[in-house]
Structure 1
């Protein structure tokens, strides 16, 4: 039997206007989510999502709750059409929306945690500015070796932050060491090396000094066992207890994102359909490049979600297999999106 996974995107998938067309169709979402989120956080998150400006939306402390909230709104709309997952996963930040989908915690508690997570991560960059870069065209062991050499040569921290798909790895650390890896990767034959415009050196040991404070916040929240399996991007294994999920969310700050392993674990559980729940379409591309038989569907706009419901809803008929099918009829990502915007959206 073919299974369906809901996969939730991370930071970098944000865009001005995300979620606005859903509100126009479903005004009830304003009171249920957007006004409630504004009141909970004490700033106009809904206006920033729908109107920007883009510069404000790029602030890590804003971006993370904005992407999370948009995913939760899209999830609500999907569920009104009786589209449900057999298993869930999230790319870094997206793991919080996945946990809400699986009934592990309330969306309000998750939003508070995501806001704190973003603020703490941004604070690390203020104290110790860092950088991230995506390496396209080299395998993971090669990039790990380049990081070890650059760290030894510069005396600075640089580590693998994301194993996004078999030929795309993101490195994170102090700026000089990241530059050294980028230069070495080009010499080693990388097809492309893309500096990422992110707010901090995520998913590396430079984040260690915020783990204790964030662990206290996690301990104050009521976590429950998931109603469906949650495959963690920290462990690339299915988590079935609240304790396991809390541990993974804590480790996530410093641990690399194992998205290649996550997709392979999902495929091993019979998943063939991957529904990207929230803004953007980056995860679909990563899933297809890891598991070429994957069928991917997007939900970032009303039109995309409608096409996904038509394909996967109770009365739906999944479209015939085509090379460009994404569940939206709009085609696959371009090479530029894959190498630049795609890596940025899958970095946090």
Structure 2
């Protein structure tokens, strides 16, 4: 368990002010990444990352490139200090950042793709409103059973979206279906049910209508073979080549995020040190519950980044 894995967070990890610590200490990153991203996307993503407002930052077409950009900048800081991974993985949206880390995607291509991904997901939600909620305290099989009952009772889509750890399952679907599911899991003994600030449904069949358009955009982008293994959060297995990476990004739109399986696979690959790269701080905690004994590090604020640099800068790969 002496290998290092970089973990990249997904939607929900955004916050106003993310990335400010990095550019204040390394101002050259502003032009190299943030200003370039503004030019690529045609709006001031940098301002929204640093100043908000939070309501606008939560919009999917803004959130998704914002999280990926902040993760890529944090990755650049780690690399500049000689900290490089043996493996990488990303939670949902974070898989784009993980593929940048493994040189499968250029960061500029990843940014354009996730901007489109956010636009398509928002449009799908406008057509059929939905939401997501995290169920804490029940196992996957129980939540799957409750989803089937809620779908039958409401006549609406409600499905498992993320298997985050052994007792945390995220569900996704139409609003009334998710509400029906919440009532059932309370009755089944859930500890908590938390509605997520995502802005709509993800990782469920409601997004089937946008899959072909996103797949066409994926085909226009170069996907190289990974230089380090990337464990896909969709398949919970290492991505072997660029074509498979492209396929995983397509299938995750409607497919389940298997973070539990991903964490187990990282441990099986010998990853005992996990570094969450970007604005998030949740993935390390999930991994500690799934695979106790792993060492986790963060980069989501200046204090945590300094601790990570001090702990890992001399290790290299």
Normalising by the smaller structure, the TM-score range is: over 0.9
- SS of equivalent residue, structure 1 residue 13: coil
- SS of equivalent residue, structure 2 residue 286: helix
Q: Which runs of 5+ in 1 are unaligned?
A: 317-348
Q: Which runs of 5+ in 2 are unaligned?
A: none
Once residues 222 and 112 of structure 1 are traced to their aligned partners in structure 2, the CA distance between those partners, rounded to angstroms, is 13
Residues 103-125 of structure 1, C-alpha deviations (whole Å, 9 max, x = no match): 00100000000100011001111
Query: What does 1:51-130 correspond to in 2, within 5 Å?
Result: 51-130=51-130
Is 2:21 aligned against 1:13?
no
Residues 125-163 of structure 1, C-alpha deviations (whole Å, 9 max, x = no match): 110001211110000000001101111122111100000
Look up the match of 1:293: 293
- SS of equivalent residue, structure 1 residue 6: strand
Once residues 294 and 201 of structure 2 are traced to their aligned partners in structure 1, the CA distance between those partners, rounded to angstroms, is 31
Once residues 231 and 198 of structure 2 are traced to their aligned partners in structure 1, the CA distance between those partners, rounded to angstroms, is 25
The two structures, once aligned, show a CA RMSD in angstroms of: 1.0
1:303 deviation in Å? 2.5
- SS of equivalent residue, structure 1 residue 92: coil
1:280 deviation in Å? 2.3
- SS of equivalent residue, structure 2 residue 18: coil
Once residues 222 and 201 of structure 1 are traced to their aligned partners in structure 2, the CA distance between those partners, rounded to angstroms, is 28
Look up the match of 1:186: 186
Look up the match of 1:36: 36
1:196 deviation in Å? 1.6
Conservation of the 8 A alpha-carbon contact between 2:161 and 2:202:
yes
Once residues 26 and 196 of structure 2 are traced to their aligned partners in structure 1, the CA distance between those partners, rounded to angstroms, is 35
Once residues 121 and 153 of structure 1 are traced to their aligned partners in structure 2, the CA distance between those partners, rounded to angstroms, is 26
Conservation of the 8 A alpha-carbon contact between 2:58 and 2:197:
no
Once residues 53 and 123 of structure 2 are traced to their aligned partners in structure 1, the CA distance between those partners, rounded to angstroms, is 22
Look up the match of 1:252: 252
Is 2:155 aligned against 1:161?
no
Once residues 301 and 147 of structure 2 are traced to their aligned partners in structure 1, the CA distance between those partners, rounded to angstroms, is 39
1:315 deviation in Å? 5.9
Look up the match of 2:279: 279
1:283 deviation in Å? 0.7
Conservation of the 8 A alpha-carbon contact between 2:83 and 2:315:
no
Structure 1 outlier segments of 4+, above 3 Å:
none
Conservation of the 8 A alpha-carbon contact between 2:87 and 2:229:
yes
- SS of equivalent residue, structure 1 residue 120: helix
Residues 160-199 of structure 1, C-alpha deviations (whole Å, 9 max, x = no match): 0000000000110111111111101000011111122221
Look up the match of 1:238: 238
Conservation of the 8 A alpha-carbon contact between 2:74 and 2:277:
yes
- SS of equivalent residue, structure 2 residue 272: strand
Look up the match of 2:220: 220
Is 2:179 aligned against 1:203?
no
Q: TM-score, normalised by structure 1?
A: 0.89
Once residues 131 and 97 of structure 1 are traced to their aligned partners in structure 2, the CA distance between those partners, rounded to angstroms, is 24
Q: TM-score, normalised by structure 2?
A: 0.98
- SS of equivalent residue, structure 1 residue 77: helix
Is 2:147 aligned against 1:147?
yes
Once residues 175 and 39 of structure 1 are traced to their aligned partners in structure 2, the CA distance between those partners, rounded to angstroms, is 36
Matched length: 316
- SS of equivalent residue, structure 1 residue 179: helix
Query: What does 1:324-343 correspond to in 2, within 5 Å?
Result: none
- SS of equivalent residue, structure 2 residue 4: strand
Once residues 62 and 205 of structure 2 are traced to their aligned partners in structure 1, the CA distance between those partners, rounded to angstroms, is 23
